[in-house]
A = this chain, B = another copy of it.
Amino acid sequence: MPESKPKRRRKPSGPTMAAVAEKAGVSIFTVSAVVNGTAQVSDERRLRVEQAIEAIGYKHNAVARSLKTGRTLTIGVVVGDITNPFYTDVVAVIQQELHRSGYAVMLCCNDRSAELQAEHISLLRNRMVDGLIISPVGNDEQLQAALEGARIPVVLVDRTLRDNRYDAVVLDNKAAVTEAMQYLLSLGHRRIGFISGNPATYTGRHRLEGYRASLKAAGIPIEDDLCQLGGFRAEEAYTAALRLLTGPNPPTAIFPANNLMMIGAMKAVRDLGLTCPDDVSVVGFDDFPWAEAFIPQLTTIAQPVRQIGEESVRLLVERLGEKSKPVAPRRVQLKGELKVRTSCRPLVARKATPAPRKARAKAGR
């Protein structure tokens, strides 16, 4: 029967060093030496090898090399959501910097699921990545479990574990929020609505602390109604802002605790027919290119994304270069920068009568 043999597998990889060696009439060793510059080779033989490489189109097989050397020159990067411009920027810097150091990056996004995160970490470990840069999701134990027994360096970004077991690059979230709060307070705002991320997370907790501490320091009582707990997402922030602004005694300023929630909050302001900063001042966490493109230009806390990426890579690469001298976990804490633009205005001479507030309350449907 004219049955074409289906078992025929196409050659999985191209020409090998052996092929080059044969073509050039030298040994495999010599080829390896010129490819890796790992030993002196006479000019004449080197030339022959180089020509042979060119002639048969040899491409060096990193998989085989990795198996032998135990290094893949690959770093696993796992983030919650690369769609969030903060992570996008950080990942871009990380990729760039790792490339400069000779490493490739394997990217995993877990959509903020601890299970997926564990799966990705496992996958990356199987693939023998030389190191891991993780912006972790879930609780400490889940991460610990996923990292259990990993004999490779790990750098945490954006948060640490309680026991500081790994190198970490974080922002001083509390200080950053405090700076923004002081700005708002200096403008005369006293009723400031905070739209918090999940307070069970590292960033959520510290940012919330910054809010509360600032109020306390200013002698302003903390009203639970003014502090809405969300989960870092735009939709939640939208409804939170709606609640805040249509309540009986609305704040004069609102403060969404990350970029996504800023979007939601701004939509709410707009949908209520309010204008910023005339009706309500807004300051946000995380800066992004669009923040200053529109009216109002958003006053935000900019995270030093480049620095965050660079430091993460620096910590990791230092450990990768370590010759078995174990250094204690290090922690780099960076500062945010308040970018004052036009979304906040001084709270001057508000109409003394409470009338407008009632009018506002009715605006809510």
A residues sitting closer than 8 Å to B (CB atoms) are 6, 8-14, 57, 59-64, 66-67, 69-72, 74, 81-83, 85, 88-89, 91-92, 95-96, 99, 104-109, 111, 122-128, 148-149, 151, 234, 260, 263, 266-267, 270, 275, 288-290, 292-295, 297, 323-324
Contact in complex: B62, A64 (CB < 8 Å)? no
Chain B residue with Cβ nearest A111: B96
A151 proximity list for chain B (CB < 8 A): 10-11, 14
Contact in complex: A289, B109 (CB < 8 Å)? no
A148 proximity list for chain B (CB < 8 A): 57
Min CB distance, A92 to chain B, in Å? 5
Min CB distance, A64 to chain B, in Å? 5
Contact in complex: A63, B67 (CB < 8 Å)? yes
Interface centre among A61, A74, A107 (most CB of B within 10 A): A107
Contact in complex: A128, B234 (CB < 8 Å)? no
Contact of A66 among B63, B83, B260, B290 (CB under 8 A): B63
Contact in complex: B83, A89 (CB < 8 Å)? yes
Contact in complex: B295, A267 (CB < 8 Å)? no
In the bound complex, CA of A108 to CA of B89 (Å): 14
A69 proximity list for chain B (CB < 8 A): 12
6 closest cross-chain pairs (CB), A and B = A12-B70, A294-B294, A107-B107, A290-B290, A266-B293, A62-B127
In the bound complex, CA of A263 to CA of B85 (Å): 15
A290 proximity list for chain B (CB < 8 A): 263, 288, 290, 294
Contact in complex: A71, B12 (CB < 8 Å)? yes
Contact in complex: A128, B61 (CB < 8 Å)? yes
Pull 19 A–B residue pairs with CB atoms less than 8 Å apart, ordered by A.
A8-B324, A13-B128, A14-B149, A59-B125, A59-B126, A59-B149, A61-B126, A62-B127, A63-B127, A82-B91, A85-B85, A95-B109, A104-B108, A104-B123, A107-B107, A266-B294, A267-B292, A270-B295, A275-B295
State the number of copies, please. Answer: 2
Contact of A62 among B111, B128, B323 (CB under 8 A): B128
Min CB distance, A47 to chain B, in Å? 22
Contact in complex: A88, B83 (CB < 8 Å)? yes
A95 proximity list for chain B (CB < 8 A): 82, 107-109
Chain B residue with Cβ nearest A234: B289
A10 proximity list for chain B (CB < 8 A): 151, 324
Min CB distance, A105 to chain B, in Å? 6
Min CB distance, A297 to chain B, in Å? 8
A62 proximity list for chain B (CB < 8 A): 126-128
Interface centre among A69, A88, A148 (most CB of B within 10 A): A88
Chain B residue with Cβ nearest A64: B67
Min CB distance, A102 to chain B, in Å? 10
Chain B residue with Cβ nearest A151: B14
A70 proximity list for chain B (CB < 8 A): 9, 12-13
In the bound complex, CA of A122 to CA of B57 (Å): 12
Min CB distance, A187 to chain B, in Å? 22
Chain B residue with Cβ nearest A65: B126
A13 proximity list for chain B (CB < 8 A): 70, 128
